[in-house]
Structures are given as structure tokens and as C-alpha cells.
Amino acid sequence: MSQEPNETQSLEKKCNLLLNEPDVRFVGFINNMGRQIAGGYKPGITPLVDEEEHKISLEHALEVLLTKDLDESLGSIDSIVTRRKKVTMITLPMEKYSLLISAEKKSDAEKIVQKALSLF
């Protein structure tokens, strides 16, 4: 799945806007194979996982795909919030990609979701 250069630039700009939120560590768009196509870490943030390892992105992409079976009976997913000991992960399925957000553990996930939805 490839994207146009203008599309990538637009996604990058939106990711950067969301990175301005206080507790947001990472914002990125991933495709259905878990590959990052736009976004990155907030300047000064040390990644908690190796950037070469994309297992966490693949995990979130699969989670979105696996739950599609329930869309007809329960409705589509608005967001998935996963709270880990060190970080809160938020996944927002979009039309073409999924938006993956990593935030500080203490963050207000619902506030970040609402801000992301207003941007995207």
C-alpha cells in the first residue's frame, strides 16, 4: 500500500500537531501490516522499544483487523486504549490507516482521543 507524497506530508503535519499535547510521546500512522508510514516521537523522548522492532505496531494493526468481525453487531471501533505499566497506547482506526499514539501512563486517554479525532 503506497501513499502519495502530499498525503504523507499532510499526515506528518497532523502528527506533529498532536505531538504538541503535553503527555503524548509518539504519534504515527500505520498500515494494516503494522508499518509506520508517517509520524514519530516527540523531540527529546527516548523510545521504550527498539525503533527497528515493529511488533507493537503490528500488534495494534492486528487488533483492529481481528475485531472487524464484530462491527456488524456491536458497531465499529472508535478507539482502543491499552494501559501498560510504563505507557498508555491508543489506537484509532481511520479509513485507510490506523493512528497509533503512545502517551505517558498518567495521561487522560479520552482527552487525547478527542483531540486526535478533532485533528483527523
More confident residue, 53 or 118: 118
Domain residue spans in the chain?
5-119
C-alpha distances (whole Å) from 60 to each of 5, 22, 23, 36, 43 are 25, 23, 20, 12, 23
Quote the pLDDT of residue 48.
78
Span 35-94, pLDDT tens digits: 888 999 999 988 877 654 455 666 656 666 656 777 788 888 889 898 989 999 999 988
More confident residue, 72 or 14: 14
Q: Which fold has domain 5-119?
A: Beta-Lactamase (3.30.450)
Q: What confidence category does residue 103 fall into, taking pLDDT thresholds of 50, 70 and 90?
A: very high
Quote the pLDDT of residue 71.
76
- What pTM was computed for the model? 0.82
